[in-house]
Every structure is written in C-alpha cells, then in structure tokens.
Amino acid sequence: MEFQRFLDSCQVVQSVETKGRKEFKCWPRGQTHSKYLGVILDQRLTYQPHIEYIKKNYTAAEARLYPILNKDSKMSTNNKLLIYKSILRSLISYAVPI
C-alpha cells in the first residue's frame, strides 16, 4: 500500500537492477528536476540547473568574502589563498567527477 502511494506520486519511474537488487528512481509529478546528494538532476541529465545553482552560490560566497580577499586587504596572500582553497574551491569542485 505504502509503495503504491510512492509510485502514484511519481511522474517517471525508472527501474534499475544492480547486484541483484532492484531500485526505483522517481521524479515527483510537476517537477523538472530533483536534488540528490547535493546534485540537482534534471530529466535529461544536462546538469544545467545544478550548474546555475553552483554559480549562484559561488557568486554569493565570493561577494561575502570580497572584503578580506581583495587586493587592498591587509591579509597575507598565503592566507587569502588558504581561504580560497578551503571555501570557494570546495563549492566549485563538489560532484565534479560526475
């Protein structure tokens, strides 16, 4: 009963069998994309909504960090580079191997 309610709420149901286990992937009705493990997937797997989401988050984080990362800041270049690597680069590089 519960599983049927799950299937009725889906727009597209894909059945994938891996290692003898059957998995069902579902797209909710009326939605063109879904978020899974922080990656936004659209039905055609173009990743365009995910790229737009990452660009928006990166731009917002860069704007918040601009006062300490700009060239007029008194912070050392090594510290600026450390902040870039730990915060900004991690935003860009999450789920890149996909």
> What pLDDT digit, counting tens, does each position of 3-58 carry?
555 555 555 555 556 666 665 566 666 677 778 788 888 877 788 999 999 999 99
The total of structural domains in the chain comes to 1
Tell if the pTM clears 0.75, that is, is over it. Answer: no
CB 86 within 8 A of CB 65: no
> Which range of residues forms the domain containing residue 33?
1-94
